[in-house]
A = this chain, B = another copy of it.
């Protein structure tokens, strides 16, 4: 790939432009808001202009609702040989592209699974996609050339490509992202009017569970609307399991001993399935997060405490795979859990203890 056009210089478009520019690709930038394109250019994303010759790849980083028309225009004006987009829902994009009369052989859907809480070109980073999955959804008409150009794009951005059907993609993100968002929002919503003293004893469990419910509502309204059928399907299955769980809980609490026993078995089975499903989620480097051992250390709330702790890990030659800080209400001391290779956990805990740290492991 020698040249590219980014249409739509928001967070994702500008980040792609920055990544490609760094790898020596000649990048053109276009946005309905000309100042956004100029901002992306001033950040080093390329030239705020349309190409005079067709570039290798045009990346359509515009809102989902505008992809069809943008593709039709970009193709009729011959801005590029191959076209892709970055929307988080894919089957509708293909329909829209077809409806708009686009040449589908030169189009391939794309979805980099990366993002930030901030938006706009100023939030862009060339390494936004580093190590992230980037799904490509070739349609039946997509040419081998289009696929290969897109694979090169993904590679230049440092992302990890995965090829799926558009429908398959939409069901996958409904399952692993969109439905979980609503599941979290529904749980968090139950706290809105809860009594203060109930909320006050909340711990890390519900905080982690509902973290994604803190996300920007407007962005999520659009995502939920765009992928509504697939999300509804996942949540309907979820709801069926949930009513089984409620039934089992009521049986456990009820007077019928046999029903109580069966209810308890059903709950046990649900917990087991939850364990099994959770274990499948990739952790760092694709390995299950369950494979690390937690070493818990008590620290005071002073600047430098974590630095001293990680310095101790470094001196011990221990790589900290993950960190969890356990906040305590109304206290200055906290608990830090360092997740490390089980093979070194005991040695590490001992060495921390010997250095004066209070270790809970």
Contact = CB atoms under 8 A, between A and B. Distances in A.
12 contacts: A135-B201, A160-B328, A160-B330, A192-B276, A199-B282, A217-B268, A231-B249, A239-B242, A239-B243, A285-B330, A307-B310, A311-B311
A252 B178 CA distance: 15
Interface residues of A, number: 138
A281 B186 contact: no
A301 to B, nearest CB: 7
A224 B201 CA distance: 18
Given A267-B224, A334-B131, A182 B245 contact: yes
Interface stretch (A49-57, A69-77, A143-151, A204-212): A204-212
A313 interface: yes
Contacts of A190: 175, 179, 234, 237-238, 241, 277
A192 B329 contact: no
Contacts of A141: none
A117 interface: yes
Given A133-B329, A250-B228, A267 B191 contact: no
A303 interface: yes
Given A201-B113, A306-B323, A221 B281 contact: no
B325 A133 contact: no
Interface in A120-138: 125, 127-128, 130-133, 135
Q: Copies per complex?
A: 2
Main secondary structure of the interface of A (DSSP, over half): helix
A208 B206 contact: no
Contacts of A224: 249, 252, 267, 271
A298 interface: yes
A1 interface: no
Interface stretch (A2-10, A31-39, A286-294): A286-294
A257 interface: no
Interface of A: 113, 116-117, 125, 127-128, 130-133, 135, 158, 160, 162, 164, 168, 171-173, 175-177, 179-192, 194-195, 197-203, 205-214, 217, 220-221, 224-225, 228-229, 231-232, 234-239, 241-243, 245-246, 249-250, 252-253, 263-264, 267-268, 270-286, 289-290, 294, 296, 298, 301-304, 306-314, 317-325, 327-335, 358, 360
Nearest to A251: B228
A296 B285 CA distance: 19
B318 A285 contact: no
Contacts of A194: 175-176, 277, 280
B238 A253 contact: no
A346 to B, nearest CB: 13
B130 A207 contact: no
A340 to B, nearest CB: 10
Given A180-B205, A249-B231, A277-B191, A307 B303 contact: no
A241 B184 CA distance: 12
